């Protein structure tokens, strides 16, 4: 338990009260009326516009400079608003979007293989277990066409066929080729495109970048989001920033599992603080477990590395038919083997959806047929592909992925099969937003992985980049101005009492954290929490497991508040 009268205890209790009060909020999704194909056009027509000469009178805070944040900040800046963009990274180019390898979906039907906006919509709704908000998904499928045009115009070097046309590949759970890619670095190339658009606006003076600035709280004035409290990560200074609108594009929370494919820096402080201020969460239980990651090699590992799912286009996934002796690290290809996708069908072959692929891998490893030092792995074997296509073709398609694998495992996947195992990768849950991407706090918009995702329980790949860029380039630049045009926004600056009290709360919380003077490192708490989450709320979940986690997590939190060691004090 928190001590009764510490400032932090009071803050947490007050937040709990606020939170309970908000639980009775009636959610209004603001889906436009009419046929689904026309809803976005109708909505855009109905939305209010701000006169170009008036735009410079309004300021917008965008927190996050990944694909969603950089795209939104650049586009709103280009429209003429004063944008302040915050990132805790030392440059927008370090946002975690840079890690995306495989590709981005768009219903261009360049392959003439039966794709259409409706098929992308249907696949995404089905892949989302029929839980997604259909109006949003339809809009996403429509906008997917514009995203590719936008990125090509920016010079994003998508892979091209010999004749110069944009190439496509397939991803799990899908029967057409609609994934645009730039080798195994799609996120990096898309982010460089968004970054150059952002820098153009920085040079034009419409966007001010605040790097190495971490959001620690959201400030609400008269029920509307009007600013943020940040900490300068170099000087430690706590600062307040006021604006007419706040946009959060701060990424996902897979790191709650400790071992995930997300960078260590990816945390969910921003959406969590917004949640404590009353923004509701949606679908927090939906996390995507990616089937093709490099297996854990040591207990001291702090993250896992993804190998793009595109490898499943050509790699064969297999395990030995019989249980494996743990001492054997590499099993001969002559071993009696079985392909593991038990639910594979002629329609999907090796490209079953991610959840099916991940569960199948876990099941065979649980049966004792897993390969590698810890028995937590299945083979992804390119022997047949190399034989069929030739080494050079395989190298051309996947060379950088093979290199990543070689550097991490010291194994050459051209000669021995890769080992893969599922890992937490992407969070579909996040802050609930309406059709306009506004949270339950008026004036607080949320884009990209930080929101609860148009695609709900999506089991498909290449959707997150699509959604981040759709939100940033094409949705928020309409809905944020509509909010500004239709809302009476009183002048507010950082001398307002709400800013003063939010800043004081942040300072109290930091003081409490550094004053606990305990014995356990922050990382050891994180690691234990991650293990509880993975064992009980990961790929396999049961009533008993969830109850166990629900009992253990509060105990761990209590211990955290009593036994946290200040990182600066080495023992």
Please choose, from the candidates 506, 490, 484, 480, the residue with its C-alpha nearest in 3D space to the C-alpha of residue 247: 480
Residues in 256-295 at the binding interface with ligand FAD, rule: CB under 6 A: 261-262, 266, 269-270
Note whether 66 binds ligand FAD by CB under 6 A. Answer: yes
Tell me the C-alpha distance between 434 and 390, whole Å.
50
By CB under 6 A, the residues from 443 to 502 that bind ligand FAD are 448-450, 461-465, 468
With a CB cutoff of 8 Å and minimum separation 6, the contacts of 136 are 435, 454
Tell me: does residue 62 bind ligand FAD (CB under 6 A): no
Give the helix/strand (H/E) hosting 556.
helix 543-563
Q: How far apart are CB 310 and ligand FAD at their closest, in Å?
A: 8
- The single residue among 40, 81, 88, 348 that binds ligand FAD, judged by CB under 6 A, is 88
Nearer to ligand FAD, 89 or 362 (CB): 89
Asked if residue 202 lies in contact with residue 156, where contact means CB atoms within 8 angstroms, the answer is: no
85 scored as a contact of ligand FAD (CB under 6 A): no
Minimum Å distance from CB 390 to ligand FAD?
Answer: 25
Asked if 217 touches ligand FAD (CB under 6 A), the answer is no
Q: Residue 544 in 3-state DSSP? A: helix
Q: Which of 251, 372, 422, 538 binds ligand FAD (CB under 6 A)?
A: 251
State whether residue 241 is helix, strand or coil: strand
Q: Which entry of 224, 354, 369, 459 is annotated as an active-site residue? A: 354
> Closest distance between ligand FAD and the C-beta of residue 320, in Å?
29
Active site residue 459: no
Determine if residue 207 is left, alpha or beta; phi over 0 gives left, psi from -120 to 50 gives alpha, anything else beta.
beta
Q: Contacting ligand FAD (CB under 6 A), which of 32, 80, 102, 481?
A: 102
Of the pair 39, 168, the CB lying nearest ligand FAD is at 168
429: contact with ligand FAD by CB under 6 A: no
* Chain residues 306-325 in contact with ligand FAD, contact rule CB under 6 A: 306
Report the C-alpha gap between 38 and 139 in whole angstroms: 9
Residue the block writes with tokens 């009533």: 543
Interface with ligand FAD includes 187 (CB under 6 A)? yes
- The C-alpha torsion from 431 through 434 and 437 to 440, rounded to 10°, is -50
Q: Does 425 bind ligand FAD (CB under 6 A)?
A: yes
**CB-CB neighbours of 236 under 10 Å:** 8
Question: CB of residue 257 vs ligand FAD: minimum separation in angstroms?
Answer: 12
Q: How far apart are the first and last CA of the chain?
A: 26
Q: Cα-Cα-Cα-Cα dihedral of 252, 253, 255, 256, to 10°?
A: -170
Smallest CA-to-CA distance from 126 within 93, 73, 62, 173 is with 173
**In the complex, what is the shortest distance from the CB of residue 383 to ligand FAD, in angstroms, rounded to a whole number?**
25
Which positions touch ligand FAD (CB under 6 A)?
A: 63-69, 86-89, 95-97, 99-104, 186-187, 214-215, 249-252, 261-262, 266, 269-270, 306, 425-426, 448-450, 461-465, 468
């Amino acid at each position: 338990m928190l001590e009764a009268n510490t400032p932090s205890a009071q803050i947490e209790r007050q937040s709990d009260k606020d939170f309970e009060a908000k639980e009775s909020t009636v959610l209004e999704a603001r889906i436009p009326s009419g046929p689904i194909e026309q809803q976005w056009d109708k909505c855009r027509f109905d939305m209010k516009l701000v006169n170009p000469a008036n735009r410079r009178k309004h300021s917008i805070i965008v927190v996050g400079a990944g694909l969603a944040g950089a795209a939104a900040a650049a586009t709103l800046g280009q429209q003429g608003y004063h944008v302040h963009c915050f990132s805790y990274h030392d440059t927008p180019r370090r946002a975690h979007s840079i890690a995306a390898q495989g590709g981005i979906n768009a219903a261009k039907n360049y392959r003439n293989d039966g794709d259409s906006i409706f098929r992308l919509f249907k696949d995404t709704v089905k892949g989302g277990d029929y839980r997604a908000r259909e109006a949003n998904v339809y809009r996403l499928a429509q906008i997917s066409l514009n995203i590719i045009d936008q990125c090509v115009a920016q010079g994003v070097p998508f892979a091209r066929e010999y004749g110069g046309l944009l190439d496509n590949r397939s991803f799990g759970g899908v029967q057409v080729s609609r994934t645009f890619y730039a080798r195994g670095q799609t996120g990096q190339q898309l982010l460089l495109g968004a970054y150059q658009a952002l820098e153009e606006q920085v040079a034009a003076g419409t966007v001010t970048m605040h790097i190495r600035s971490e959001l620690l709280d959201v400030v609400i004035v008269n029920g509307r989001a009007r600013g943020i409290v940040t900490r300068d990560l170099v000087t430690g200074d706590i600062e307040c920033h006021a604006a007419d609108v706040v946009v959060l594009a701060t990424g996902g929370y897979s790191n709650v599992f400790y071992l995930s494919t997300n960078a260590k820096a990816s945390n969910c402080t921003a959406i969590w603080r917004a949640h404590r201020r009353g923004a509701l969460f949606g679908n927090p239980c939906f996390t995507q477990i990616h089937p093709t990651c490099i297996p854990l090699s040591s207990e001291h590992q702090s993250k896992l590395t993804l190998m793009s799912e595109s490898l499943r286009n050509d790699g064969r996934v297999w395990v030995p038919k019989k249980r494996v002796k743990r001492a054997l690290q590499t099993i001969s290809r002559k071993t009696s083997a079985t392909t593991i996708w038990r639910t594979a069908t002629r329609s999907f072959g090796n490209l079953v959806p991610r959840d099916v692929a991940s569960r199948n891998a876990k099941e065979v490893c649980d049966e004792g047929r897993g390969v590698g030092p810890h028995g937590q792995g299945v083979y992804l074997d390119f022997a047949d592909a190399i034989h069929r296509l030739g080494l050079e073709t395989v190298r051309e398609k996947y060379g950088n992925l093979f290199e990543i694998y070689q550097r991490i495992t010291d194994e050459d996947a051209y000669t021995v099969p890769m080992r893969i195992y599922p890992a937490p990768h992407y969070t579909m849950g996040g802050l609930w937003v309406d059709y306009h991407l506004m949270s339950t706090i008026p004036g607080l918009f949320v884009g990209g992985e930080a929101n609860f995702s148009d695609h709900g329980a999506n089991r498909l790949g290449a959707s997150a980049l699509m959604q981040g860029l759709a939100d940033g380039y094409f949705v928020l630049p309409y809905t944020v101005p509509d909010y500004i045009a239709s809302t009476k926004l009183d002048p507010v600056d950082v001398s307002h009492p709400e800013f003063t009290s939010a800043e004081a709360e942040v300072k109290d919380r930091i003081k409490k954290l550094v004053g606990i003077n305990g014995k356990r490192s922050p990382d050891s708490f994180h690691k234990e929490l991650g293990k509880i989450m993975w064992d009980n709320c990961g790929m396999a979940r049961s009533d008993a497991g969830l109850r166990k986690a629900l009992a253990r997590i509060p105990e761990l939190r209590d211990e955290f508040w009593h036994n946290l060691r200040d990182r600066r004090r080495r023992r």
